[in-house]
């Protein structure tokens, strides 16, 4: 196979189109501009700019037809695409047909990739990339540059582009680069990062409790801040009342009293809730 014969994809043109908010579509998926000669199709694909999120799928995995069950109905020119991926494509194909097969091969590789990365060996390969921060870092300040993992919002091809999952804040983000933002999410799947953390639970970071508090001249003014302070006040009051109740009772009746205290507290909380909301709204500045 001679890759240099391949018509180079105009990547600048792609960036420009994406910049103009052209909706996500098949044409933009994992296209490359690299036309250097490489012996193996997979090496060429992985070396192409924009395909950095992909790992190398083991040849044994691709050659085991059981792993590819059902993909023949999802990919046009399936057998030629598979031949191209495994470097067995007939050299005598005309240029136009080769381009069509090329596009199918990229799609097929993506779909195989999604299956491979949730296998034991696939997870190991993606873990190495995660450790090297190949997928970037969380943009949220309070996540302190935690590395990200690719994830899909849908397993259906051509529906949603790939997103990046942060296991610290448990949220998803758009990739920074337009090349990465145009990769089909189905090439990674919805389950991948969660499967990785199932297999490597030691990688799950402690839950981030840091919360950004909006302030003006040092004062908390935001409605959410008011609510948090109100919740803290209620909690402290309840605790104080329970402790006072326990201290004032003989030890034998503590157990019986505690259940009625809980009911009493609920009633009191309901009636005080309204007053506290009013006074809380008045005294929102410390």
The residue ranges that bind Zn ion (CB under 5 A) are 138, 140, 143, 166, 168-169
Nearer to Zn ion, 213 or 246 (CB): 213
Nearer to Zn ion, 20 or 211 (CB): 211
The candidate with the shortest Cα–Cα distance to 221, out of 277, 284, 169, 156, is: 284
CB of 143 to Zn ion, least distance (A): 3
Nearer to Zn ion, 126 or 143 (CB): 143
174 close to 181: Cβ distance less than 8 angstroms: yes
CB of 131 to Zn ion, least distance (A): 17
Helical spans, DSSP H, in the chain: 11-19, 41-47, 59-63, 78-85, 95-116, 120-131, 178-181, 192-199, 223-247, 254-282
Alpha-carbon distance of 204 to 197, in angstroms, equals: 6
Alpha-carbon distance of 162 to 182, in angstroms, equals: 7
Nearer to Zn ion, 123 or 143 (CB): 143
CB of 262 to Zn ion, least distance (A): 38
* Tokens 């990674």 sit on residue: 188
160 close to 183: Cβ distance less than 8 angstroms: no
Nearer to Zn ion, 121 or 194 (CB): 194
CB of 203 to Zn ion, least distance (A): 14
CB of 172 to Zn ion, least distance (A): 10
CB of 171 to Zn ion, least distance (A): 6
Sign of CA dihedral 177, 183, 186, 187: negative
155's tokens: 């397993």
Nearer to Zn ion, 117 or 169 (CB): 169
Which residues neighbour 201 within 8 Å (Cβ) at sequence distance 6 or greater? none
Helical spans, DSSP H, in 120-222: 120-131, 178-181, 192-199
């Amino acid at each position: 196979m001679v890759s240099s014969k391949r018509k180079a994809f105009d990547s600048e043109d792609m960036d420009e189109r994406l910049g103009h908010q052209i909706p996500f579509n098949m044409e933009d998926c994992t296209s490359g501009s690299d036309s250097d000669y490489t012996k193996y199709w997979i090496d060429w694909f992985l070396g192409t700019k924009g395909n950095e999120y992909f790992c190398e799928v083991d040849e044994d995995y691709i050659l085991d037809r059981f792993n590819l069950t059902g993909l023949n109905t999802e990919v046009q020119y399936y057998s030629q695409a598979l031949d191209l991926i495994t470097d067995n494509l007939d050299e005598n194909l005309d240029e136009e047909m080769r381009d069509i097969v090329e596009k199918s091969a990229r799609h097929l590789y993506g779909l195989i990739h999604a299956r491979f990365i949730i296998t034991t060996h696939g997870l190991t390969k993606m873990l190495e990339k995660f450790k090297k921060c190949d997928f970037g870092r969380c943009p949220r300040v309070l996540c302190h540059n935690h590395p990200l993992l690719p994830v899909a919002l849908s397993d259906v091809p051509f529906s949603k582009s790939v997103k990046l999952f942060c296991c610290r804040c448990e949220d998803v983000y758009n990739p920074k680069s337009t090349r990465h933002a145009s990769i089909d999410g189905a090439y990674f799947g919805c389950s991948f990062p969660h499967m990785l953390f199932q297999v490597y639970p030691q990688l799950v970071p402690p839950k981030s409790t840091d919360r950004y508090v909006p302030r003006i001249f040092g004062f908390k003014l935001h409605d959410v801040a008011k609510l948090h302070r109100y919740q803290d006040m209620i909690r402290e009051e309840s605790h104080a009342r329970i402790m006072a109740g326990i201290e004032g009772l003989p030890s034998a009746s503590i157990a019986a009293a505690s259940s009625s205290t809980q009911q009493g507290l609920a009633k009191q909380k309901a009636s005080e809730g309204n007053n506290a909301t009013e006074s809380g709204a008045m005294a929102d500045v410390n």
